[in-house]
Amino acid sequence: MGNSNRSILIILFFVLIGIIFIIRLFVLQVVDPSYKYSAESNTQRKLTEYPSRGLIYDRFGKLLVSNQAVYDIMIVPREVAPFDTTDFCNVLNISRPELDRAYEEMRRNMRSRRISSFKPSVFIKQVPADQYALFQEKQYKFKGFFGQRRTVRKYEYPHAAHVFGYVAEVNEATMQRDPYYALGDYTGISGIENTYERFLRGRKGARYVMVDVHGREKGSVRGGRIDTTAVAGKNITLTLDIDLQAYGEELMRNKTGSIVAIEPSTGEILAMVSSPGYDPSLLIGRERSRNFPVLSRDSLSPLLNRAIMSAYPPGSTFKMVMGLIGLQENVLRTNTPYSCSGAYHARGLSVGCRHHRSPVDLIPSLAVSCNTYYCIVFRNVLDNPAHGSPKAGIEKWREYLNNFGFGKRLGSDFFNESRGFVPGSGYYDRIYDGRWSSLTVISLAIGQGEILTTPIQMANMTAAIANKGHFYTPHVVKDIENDTIPSRFEERHHTGIDPIHFDPIIEGMEQAIWSETGSTARIARIPGISISGKTGTAQNPHGENHSIFVAFAPKENPQIAIAVYVENAGYGSTFAAPIASLMVEKYLNREIHANRKWLETRMLNIDLINATKH
């Protein structure tokens, strides 16, 4: 083939393509009337059918979270004709600046090609149903606009906001990660709305319709054969007892702190209170943009879920674990008494204690909460010759704590759990340049110093004690409709402590409440319920100490284990113990005994937040 022939071939090729195009254009523009018709009369429109999110129930089947209808005002920019903007604003109850803002945003989105002028996109979000009715009457005046039904959350109770989390529009990152989502879709941002998004969201459907120039639907495209229906999200039952939850939030009103109550035999969370909290309805749809900044600026951090995110030193509530480790390590005998002169003294260092009967062995040591006793136990654990050095000793100690769920995320339903902190030999080597002994870190013995634990970890520890050595990961999901809950919640975790060692510890916790000679928490006594517990005080360098109480009941076949934290409230028996006992009583008896009504009233009325302010 000669090269000049090739140039002719190339020209022929160009001409051929040109002829094909002209023929095609002739067919499209002159011969075939269907395109002309479809331009004049009808346009097709894809309507997304949004599924309603799964409902949320409490453990007794009470409806907690449902859905309500709102309407997004959609715009098809290409179809918009001049309209009365004042009327538009009035009908939708929006201000002129709001309209201008919506218009600006649409303009920006079109420039960045996120939306198209051919396709509908959201113009005004979440117009309430009654307002939308007004708009619908005058819709004929606003060409290119139409309403799209959406559902937003409806909360039946003003409680448990931290557990639910909230729902909002997907962001760019989520859309890129998961192609299911499109601009304007909703997704769970935090709490179980986020964790169980996959189940709750359901599946979107699509409806293809023909619409006339006034935006009125004129029937489906191809008889609806390409439509897909939306599938509603799966309903979820929580382990929460909403009455107990509400009661806990009432008790914690005007106080800072949290409550976690767990069913020991299953790890199911019965209540999870973080105070101050907020009404979940504040974060629904349009409300959220107004309320969220207010809540996030509040100095008391109502958005923070203290139950899982705040870590404090555990204080004396830590003594049970200390005793258990001593017993398991065989450096402590139940009946060996240690004497206490009101403080622990060693090589010029002293740890204070209270005045109480002396000497005490294991059971009364918990009842009177003797610091001296646990300093001795702790040093025996660390200096145990079996490990060779305090470094090896503290690592062994740390291993036990990890088995109890401290110093790591428990793996509950909440992704933003705090780990807390359990120091090890590496940590102290760094601080003390390798030169430290069991005496240097002695404050750990009584749950002070560097160790930090979260309320949920403490409730879990209490459940493990109630179970005599094992626990199930605390969780709030009980059942997912036609599906199974994550298998990790059915796994039994062992603490590495033999069940037999728990008997004296539980006995000590019972004595702490019921002993006639030197109990530290007699205020927690509930008529007819064998409750066991322990007070604690978390040192707070920034102000008044935090009041802590952990408890479980009944002694045989425990049904509830609880940890209560009241910040800046001083000693554990003053606030945390009564609140914990009221919670236990409410859960087990469903009502408060007449003899304790005064206590309930007092706890409900105390205002620690404003009291400290003045």
The residues binding other proteins (CB under 8 A) are: 1, 3-4, 6-7, 10-11, 14-15, 17-18, 20-22, 24-26, 28-30, 32, 34-36, 38-40, 43-46, 77-82, 85, 103, 107, 110-113, 116-119, 179, 206, 208, 221
Question: Minimum Å distance from CB 362 to Zn ion?
Answer: 13
Residue 340 binds which one of other proteins, Zn ion, none, with CB within 5 to 8 A depending on kind?
Zn ion
Beta-carbon contacts of 57 under 8 Å, excluding residues fewer than 6 positions away, are 63, 64, 235, 236, 237, 238
| Phi, psi (degrees; rounded to nearest 5) at 345 | -115, 135
Q: Would you say 269 or 375 has its CB closer to Zn ion?
A: 375
Question: Minimum Å distance from CB 221 to other proteins?
Answer: 7
Question: Which residues sit at the interface with Zn ion, rule CB under 5 A?
Answer: 340, 353, 370, 372
Contact (CB, 8 A) for 267 and 245 = no
Q: Would you say 47 or 324 has its CB closer to other proteins?
A: 47
Question: Minimum Å distance from CB 334 to Zn ion?
Answer: 17
| Phi, psi (degrees; rounded to nearest 5) at 410 | -70, -30
> What tokens appear for 183 in the block?
């601009």
| CA atoms within 13 A of residue 93's CA, in its CB half-sphere | 10
- Return the sign of the alpha-carbon dihedral for residues 442, 447, 448, 453: positive
Q: Would you say 19 or 349 has its CB closer to Zn ion?
A: 349
SS3 string, 359-401, reads CECHHHHHHCCCHHHHHHHHHHHHCCCCCCCHHHHHHHHHHHH
Question: Minimum Å distance from CB 123 to other proteins?
Answer: 13
Residue 80 binds which one of Zn ion, other proteins, none, with CB within 5 to 8 A depending on kind?
other proteins
Q: Would you say 21 or 415 has its CB closer to other proteins?
A: 21
CA distance 261 to 552: 9
CB atoms within 10 A of CB 275: 25
Beta-carbon contacts of 366 under 8 Å, excluding residues fewer than 6 positions away, are 319, 320, 323, 505, 508, 509, 511, 512, 534
Residue 17 binds which one of other proteins, Zn ion, none, with CB within 5 to 8 A depending on kind?
other proteins
For 254, left (φ over 0), alpha (ψ -120 to 50), or beta? left
Question: Minimum Å distance from CB 560 to other proteins?
Answer: 48
By C-alpha distance, which of 530, 576, 534 is closest to 553?
530
Residue 330 binds which one of Zn ion, other proteins, none, with CB within 5 to 8 A depending on kind?
none
Question: Minimum Å distance from CB 204 to other proteins?
Answer: 13
Q: Would you say 208 or 278 has its CB closer to other proteins?
A: 208
Q: Would you say 35 or 140 has its CB closer to other proteins?
A: 35
Q: Would you say 210 or 609 has its CB closer to other proteins?
A: 210
CA distance 155 to 147: 24
Residue 353 binds which one of Zn ion, other proteins, none, with CB within 5 to 8 A depending on kind?
Zn ion
Question: Minimum Å distance from CB 150 to other proteins?
Answer: 20
The SS3 assignment for 420 reads coil
Residue 372 binds which one of Zn ion, other proteins, none, with CB within 5 to 8 A depending on kind?
Zn ion
Residue 45 binds which one of Zn ion, other proteins, none, with CB within 5 to 8 A depending on kind?
other proteins
Contact (CB, 8 A) for 429 and 441 = no
Q: Would you say 63 or 80 has its CB closer to other proteins?
A: 80
Question: Minimum Å distance from CB 610 to other proteins?
Answer: 51
Residue 38 binds which one of Zn ion, other proteins, none, with CB within 5 to 8 A depending on kind?
other proteins
Contact (CB, 8 A) for 79 and 143 = yes
Question: Minimum Å distance from CB 344 to Zn ion?
Answer: 8
By C-alpha distance, which of 588, 524, 517 is closest to 550?
524
Residue 22 binds which one of other proteins, Zn ion, none, with CB within 5 to 8 A depending on kind?
other proteins
Question: Minimum Å distance from CB 2 to other proteins?
Answer: 10
Q: Would you say 66 or 443 has its CB closer to Zn ion?
A: 443
For 303, left (φ over 0), alpha (ψ -120 to 50), or beta? alpha
Q: Would you say 103 or 571 has its CB closer to other proteins?
A: 103
CA distance 338 to 376: 8
User: Is residue 206 within a helix (H) or strand (E), and if so which, with residue range?
Assistant: strand 205-211
Residue 24 binds which one of Zn ion, other proteins, none, with CB within 5 to 8 A depending on kind?
other proteins
Residue 14 binds which one of Zn ion, other proteins, none, with CB within 5 to 8 A depending on kind?
other proteins
User: Is residue 75 within a helix (H) or strand (E), and if so which, with residue range?
Assistant: strand 63-75
Contact (CB, 8 A) for 561 and 470 = no
Strands (E), 470-589: 470-472, 477-480, 492-494, 532-538, 546-553, 560-566
Question: Minimum Å distance from CB 170 to other proteins?
Answer: 17
Q: Which class for 479: exposed (0-12), middle (13-18), buried (19 or more C-beta within 10 A)? A: middle
Residue 527 binds which one of other proteins, Zn ion, none, with CB within 5 to 8 A depending on kind?
none
Question: Minimum Å distance from CB 122 to other proteins?
Answer: 17
> What tokens appear for 526 in the block?
């509930």
What is the full DSSP assignment across 441-478? TGGGGGT-TT-BB-HHHHHHHHHHHHTTSEEE--BSEE
Pairing of strands 121-128, 167-169: unpaired
Residue 370 binds which one of other proteins, Zn ion, none, with CB within 5 to 8 A depending on kind?
Zn ion
Q: Would you say 178 or 498 has its CB closer to other proteins?
A: 178
Q: Would you say 340 or 394 has its CB closer to Zn ion?
A: 340
Q: Would you say 179 or 528 has its CB closer to other proteins?
A: 179
Question: Minimum Å distance from CB 134 to other proteins?
Answer: 22
